[in-house]
Structure 1
């Protein structure tokens, strides 16, 4: 998912400012330096015995969606392994949704609601290392999104022909907005999921994974059945309901499937050809598509986009750029469809490699935003790639740390996107060996394929594989507002230079132009000297390093 920042010229402020203001309600946590956390926050964001004592193995959803009443009803079968003896576990379902009943071995389970948490109490202890299953019946009118995907909820719209067009997007807000789930990123259903959704006859539901069949329920509804075999993020499980038609093909041992509104079929067939060079690039740089057994799908949606695993939401209206604009202002961003590339990049970074806590969502967004630049370099060359990524610098706010607060369901600054990507481009040039850099990215993606990790894991991997201590660099970009500042003071013999940083003992190489010569320096926080002709101008090699250059 992507957030835009207002830019500095009047016309752009008018356009992007309106766009940005429309997002503020949904992303209010991004704009507050301090937040008074409540029990509700910790119930959603923290791990306690009621969550740690069991591991979800699979979800089997079976629901009915009523577009007229904007109402859903049904159940979720939750299969799990008991990790510690317990009589109490926590599931999650937004408090506006009704718990109809919870059955375990056919008998009702006692429960207590605490905000969006649902605590289940068992008559007898669940035994360690046993495999258990319960059925959670529920119903209600799920929260409707006002401005998806920036706020979570269902989207209830009509297509151009007046037919119902319905979807859901809940990243950050939580999957428990619309179905009962252990709503924490540390626990994905290891054995996958089934999503069975009944919708009015004449409409189709498209969910994650592979289509396994449909059934006319003889009550004006048809149920559409989908199966996911890979582990999947809770917020990635989705429904897409509309007058869809399907096309697709087998491309280099990977099934590419597309579900679009019927009247957009021919347009989509041409526009989505871009997926093929994208797959060639991403599989070469990041490894084999992580969910091949579930296929790759793009599904047309009534909102801009979302990285729903194996069912990527696409709503960019078959335009290049971001809603027809170039977010980099370099002329490069209009050469490709931002939503197709960005949201598909999440299949590797976010869906395959997932952060344990949403405070570490930069693990999703920085790498995925950087994947756009990788795509540009694969298809349009290095110079355009550098123009594209450096053009994003004017969207960085440096307002607060990229890493959020842990255990309270709190994301960090939206700088996790553009600043995070610029940090990775900087690291590429710190390593200063493209063969090593591309191998590092490939090894990173393969090593943590289908795994849930944290910031420390990422840093340690990069340190080990680069054979360099990159920890201070990561810390400065991720844990502090400011970017590194390179201070250069002119002297009679040349100049003095040093890093100004929040992180102590900071060291990072950088390249500067001295006259017509490129010089690689190894500044630290200590003042160092460089002898040169006083007349030689000193400038930064800007395309390689995202820093602040201070010359005195």
Structure 2
């Protein structure tokens, strides 16, 4: 595919003057831009996002971007204006609707939501093609990926190293989009123009690289149904290691890793983990969701992020006792839990993070067995805080989920989410657990390459899938673990010759969780409330393999001690 230079476009963004480097956190962004998800305007909910053609010109000397976005929508209800999210630090220079240029008075963007008055009202089912030219100095992240924005950096030899990250604040940091989980375009074509000597790996399939007359290159990519925050720009003098993986399902999956010069040995070591990780996921869940595009990883100047088919990696090739790179594995897990299965609302993002966190110990169990699995699960257990429920049952923003200061469950969507899955796996058994997972990911029990597409899911759907697979209603399980903040407490009473066990569940409802009890080396399974015979001198261990997520006074004391130590510093 050959494309004209940006300079030849009828919608040409204004180049920015000035070369003074910005500081982290500059330019400031509005509350609107900081917010992702939550309640959306009716005009946005009345759009089907058919395609996005995104042209970016990366200007490292100015820490700036020029962009032309061609967005194609279908109206699902009558519309008189188009609302798309775009940071006001990226001023718009020109807009056309269905090839009709608009007067400057037809649009406004005071707070980060671009309102475009249509030349005439659009009827239901009508196609709307908006072409938007913009340019600016996008917000620089303070501490990516824990906050979002552009990351302008340098390689060890002083060349440009640039990346975007946008999960928290959203896609509107650098392109006009619908900034909520279900706002995905059906397809996105991405064109990235970069200075001479730099490369721009991105999402999906590489369509081609255009050599421009001034020595720059334009990298052209196409990706199907990308997550709203998953489109990513990555620019550096990258080198590449590549290969193919022969899948359990018969297809060959392209694998690529882009890394900085001088790291060939470390890069090959990380790349060697790709195929075994793929095999684990395909063996237990199903086919890699983007096998017709690629498994892509790129080294970034920030820690990491699940950018669909181009996951960001910034773990410095760190070694760990489990023998694999947790960051690569975690972000890869998001190809299944986040990019293939996307939560329809931020309130359900424990499905993304809980599963992605759980897959590291699950992989360790597959590789090494119970000891490594138990060690990793117990480490996660010590991090569960239980301040807020994982799920609130209403539309929320990203910040209301990931930020403790805004009342969110924060890190519990990772660690508590993983332990919910750990307990569920023990409760229903391995066969049903992976069957549940498979249906949640693909929407069907029999996935094969070509018979599924990325989909949206929810906690309510997941709960229904558990019921369908097991034939049992586990509403009590989800009510306690997802919709209550506190953990169930197992009350033990020991008298001469008897052991009584009773659950005290938050919310006061039923909690028929079975428990393994070991008495003098013999294990039996009981369901409290129950009283069993125990020899007066019998040695008792409750839940000897730590399968159940429950209150632990020891963990609470440990966490309180840690907080005291931090306060002294």
User: Which TM-score tier does this pair reach, normalised by the shorter chain?
Assistant: 0.7 to 0.9
Aligned to 1:246: 240
Are 1:112 and 2:114 counterparts?
no
Show the counterpart of 1:501. 505
The gaps in structure 1 that reach 5 residues or longer are 1-24, 26-37, 322-330
CA RMSD of aligned residues (A): 2.2
Moved more, 500-509 or 278-287: 500-509
Cα offsets for 1:416-443 (capped at 9, x unmatched): 1111111111111111x32232333233
Contact 2:33 2:86 in 1 (8 A): no
**TM-superposed deviation, 1:72:** 0.4
Query: Residue 233 of structure 1 aligns with which residue?
Result: 227
Answer with 76-85 or 113-122: which moved more.
Answer: 113-122
Matched residue pairs, number? 499
TM-score norm. by structure 1 comes to 0.86
Choose the corresponding residue for 1:517, options 508, 522, 541: 522
Q: Is contact 1:486–1:549 with CA below 8 Å preserved after alignment?
A: no
Q: Which residue of 1 aligns with 2:442?
A: 446
Shift of 1:226: 1.0
1:249/1:484 Cα in 2 relative to 1: closer, same or farther (>3 Å)?
same
Q: Once the 2 structures are TM-superposed, how far is the Cα of residue 43 of structure 1 from its aligned partner?
A: 8.3
Please, which of 356, 372, 383 is the counterpart of residue 368 of structure 1? Answer: 356
Conserved in 1, the CA contact under 8 Å of 2:340 and 2:442? no
Do the aligned partners of residues 39 and 445 (structure 1) sit closer, same or farther apart at CA in structure 2, a change above 3 Å counting? closer
For residues 20-72 of structure 1, the C-alpha deviation after alignment (integer angstroms, 9 at most, x for no partner) is xxxxx9xxxxxxxxxxxx88888852133211111101111001111111000
Deviations 1:507-542 (A, max 9, x none): 21221222322121212xxx4322332332332224
- CA offsets 1:141-194 (integer angstroms, 9 cap, x no match): 11111111100011000001110000011112111011110111112112x111
**CA distance in 1: counterparts of 2:141 and 2:195, whole angstroms:** 22
Q: Is the 8 A contact 1:487 1:549 kept in 2?
A: no
Counterpart check, 1:261 vs 2:260: yes
Query: Following the alignment from structure 1 to structure 2, what is the Cα–Cα distance between the partners of residues 550 and 376?
Result: 28
Aligned counterparts of 2:101 and 2:352: Cα–Cα separation in 1: 39
Q: 8 Å contact 2:34–2:169 — kept in the other structure?
A: no
Q: Does 1:470 align with 2:513?
A: no
Following the alignment from structure 1 to structure 2, what is the Cα–Cα distance between the partners of residues 121 and 43? 23
State the partner residue of 2:275. 276
2:206 and 2:264 mapped to 1: Cα distance? Answer: 19
Q: What corresponds to 2:39 in structure 1?
A: 46
Kept in 2, the 8 Å contact 1:100–1:138? The answer is yes
2:54 aligned partner: 61
What is the DSSP-based 3-state SS (H/G/I as helix, E as strand, rest coil) of the residue aligned with 2:219?
strand
Flag the 1:124–1:407 CA change in 2: closer, same or farther, 3 A.
farther
**How far apart, CA to CA, are the structure 1 residues paired with 2:108 and 2:540?**
67
Residue 184 of structure 2 corresponds to 188
| 2:202 alignment partner in structure 1 | 207
The Cα offsets for residues 210-233 of structure 1, whole Å up to 9 and x where unpaired, read as: 1112223323532111111x2111
Please, which moves more after superposition, 87-96 or 359-368? 87-96
Q: Which whole-Å CA distance do the structure 1 matches of 2:473 and 2:37 have between them?
A: 35
Q: Is 1:406–2:401 an aligned residue pair?
A: no
State the alpha-carbon separation in 2 of the partners of residues 143 and 43 from structure 1. 15
Cα distance, 1:245–1:88 mapped onto 2, change above 3 Å:
same
Of 374, 395, 403, 1:386 maps to: 374
Aligned-pair CA distance for 1:388:
1.5
Unmatched runs of 5 consecutive residues or more in structure 2: 1-24, 26-30, 247-251, 402-407, 445-452, 555-569
> Separation in 2 of the partners of 1:251 and 1:394?
37
Q: Equivalent of 2:489, from 485, 492, 498? A: 485
**Which residue of structure 2 aligns with residue 31 of structure 1?**
none
- Name the residue aligned to 2:86: 93
Q: Does 1:548 align with 2:548?
A: no
Query: How far apart are 1:550 and its partner, in Å?
Result: 7.5
Alpha-carbon offset, residue 276 of structure 1: 1.1
Report the Cα distance in structure 1 between the residues aligned to 2:307 and 2:215, rounded to whole angstroms: 28
Are 1:373 and 1:385, in contact at CA under 8 Å, matched by a contact in 2?
Answer: yes
Deviates most, 399-408 or 370-379: 399-408
Supply the distance in 1 between the matched residues of 2:344 and 2:434 (Cα, whole angstroms).
25
Q: 1:47 touches 1:407 (CA, 8 Å); kept in 2?
A: no
Per mean C-alpha deviation after superposition, the further-off stretch among 138-147 and 472-481 is 472-481
